[in-house]
Amino acid sequence: MFGILNVYKPKGKTSHDVVAILRRVTKVKQIGHTGTLDPFAEGVLPICIGKATRLIEYLKDDKAYVGTVQLGKSTTTYDIEGEGVNFSDKNVTLEEIEAELENFRGDIEQLPPIYSAIKVNGKKLYEYARKGEEVEIQPRKVNIKELRIVSFDSENKTLELYIECSKGTYIRSIANDLGEALGTYGHLIKLVRVKAGEFEVDNAIKLEELTSADCVQKNLENPIAYIDYPQYELTENEKEKVSHGMSFKTSLSDGIVILTYQGFLAGMASANNGIIKCKKVFL
């Protein structure tokens, strides 16, 4: 079994839960996901099966989310699962929100939530938080490619945002930081990942529908369609060399190359000074 599965992760499941379920269904051990989703979040979770797990590093890692922010309250976890910390009765306008969002677009620095899996000194942040231990958290640079308002309910103080961002962006931190910037508070009450690289929510299959190995096989997609590098069709002689991990001459420009043979993925390679060197072989 070889390919990529566009799974819709349900709320309440971890990314590792999804992998474990698919291992039981398919009896395939070599399964991996392309980006962790918090248990309270839902949405697109690309899953690589079989040798396709070796292609994870070549897949695009930008993400897009629709997140709902509750203004007027902050929590320990920056989301709905945490305990309330700060409260405010302040009313903000749509114009104020629009103006403040400009400061969250482009390259920004953000502090990850203390309840996150980032490691500091070999220990995950949430482990410090659960023990009540203080730890210095370093800001991280992320890129917010697109940030816009989907809807705003001024009466209930809920704000729905579309966010397209780089890998490693914490939407929870945006909810918290935006609330503070508006002179009130905020936390995330709903999060849906609508895009991961080239995978979109409209094409995702629900986890509960993947009840058999045949069903998984039917929904597997060819990884070539989701790897954005030049393709090179091997000759019979070149195919033999690649199958043994040997290099060969080429006129290709320097960079990563997808090697194909009779239209199928044969390997990933790098071109450098007219020489193709194999990095991963699938023959």
- Residues with a catalytic annotation lie at 38
Angle, CA of 206, 209 and 163, to the nearest 5°: 5
Write out the DSSP string of 189-254.
EEEEEEEETTEEGGGPEEGGG--SHHHHHHH-B-GGGG--S-EEEPPHHHHHHHHTT--EE--PPS
From 62, 25, 104, select the one nearest 200 (Cα to Cα): 62
Give 251: exposed, middle or buried? Use CB within 10 Å, 0-12, 13-18, 19+: exposed
Give 156: exposed, middle or buried? Use CB within 10 Å, 0-12, 13-18, 19+: exposed
From 67, 32, 38, 71, select the one nearest 53 (Cα to Cα): 32
Instruction: Give 36's Cβ-side CA count (13 Å radius).
Output: 11
Name every residue whose Cβ is closer than 8 Å to that of residue 140 and which is 6 or more positions away in sequence. Answer: 109, 110, 111, 112, 168
